[in-house]
A and B are shown apart, each in its own frame.
Chain A
C-alpha cells in the first residue's frame, strides 16, 4: 500500500503568488482531510471531504483558500494569493472512519 501521497514536498513562493498542493489518498478511503500545521503545534483542520463533497470547511479561509476533490479521489488545495502567515506544513490525511487517519508527509510551504 502506497500510503497518502502528497506533492510537492517543499515549496517556496513570494507573497501574493498562487500555490497549489496535491494529495492522493489511500485507495478506498472515502474521507479526505487537509490540515495546516505550524511549527511545534498540532495540525488544524482546514477541510474534510466525504467522497467529492466538502462536509466541513468551516475552518478554511475562503477568501484565499480553495480546495477540490472532483472525482472523490485526488484532491488539490490552493492558496491565492499567498501571505507570509501562510507559511506552514500542509498535511493531507485519509480515513475509512474515526481512528483510521493516515497522513501524508506534507508539503512545507515557505512564503517570502
Chain B
C-alpha cells in the first residue's frame, strides 16, 4: 500500500553535530510534505514544510530536502541541541483532501 516511512527508528547524535533524518514515500502523487517534531507528552509540532515543486527549503537551523526521483525526503538539523531530542515524523499530503499520511517516526537522541 501507499505509505510514508522512515529508515531508522532511532538516531543518536553528538551535541553540536548536524542531524539528518530520512524519510521515504511511495506515492508519486504526493505534492506537499511536512516534518513534525513530537516531544514526550506533547502533540506533534510543525517544523518545516515543502511543496513538490521545490527540492530544498531552509528554516532556522533546519533544512528539508526533497528528491522526487527516488521519493526521498530528509530533515537536516544544524548544530543539534539537547532541546532537539524528540521523535520526528514526516507526513505527506495528496491533493486538496487535507489528510496527512504519516510515517512511523524517528527518535532523535542527543549525546552530551
A residues apposed to B, CB below 8 Å? 4, 31, 40-45, 48, 56, 91, 93, 95, 97-99, 101-106
Contacts and interface: CB of A to CB of B under 8 A. Distances in A.
Contacts of B44: 43, 91, 103
Interface in B41-64: 41-46, 49
A97 to B, nearest CB: 7
Contacts of A104: 43
A33 to B, nearest CB: 8
Interface stretch (B67-75, B77-85, B92-100): B92-100
B104 A40 contact: yes
Closest 10 CB pairs of A and B: A42-B102, A103-B43, A98-B93, A103-B44, A105-B43, A99-B49, A106-B43, A42-B89, A91-B43, A104-B43
Question: Chain A contact residues: over half helix, strand or loop, or mixed?
Answer: loop
Nearest to B90: A42
Contacts of A102: 46
Contacts of A98: 32, 93, 96, 98
B21 interface: no
27 contacts: A4-B43, A40-B9, A40-B87, A41-B104, A41-B105, A42-B4, A42-B102, A42-B103, A42-B104, A42-B105, A43-B100, A45-B99, A45-B100, A56-B97, A56-B99, A91-B43, A91-B44, A98-B32, A98-B93, A98-B96, A98-B98, A99-B32, A101-B34, A103-B43, A104-B43, A105-B42, A106-B43
A83 to B, nearest CB: 23
B54 to A, nearest CB: 13
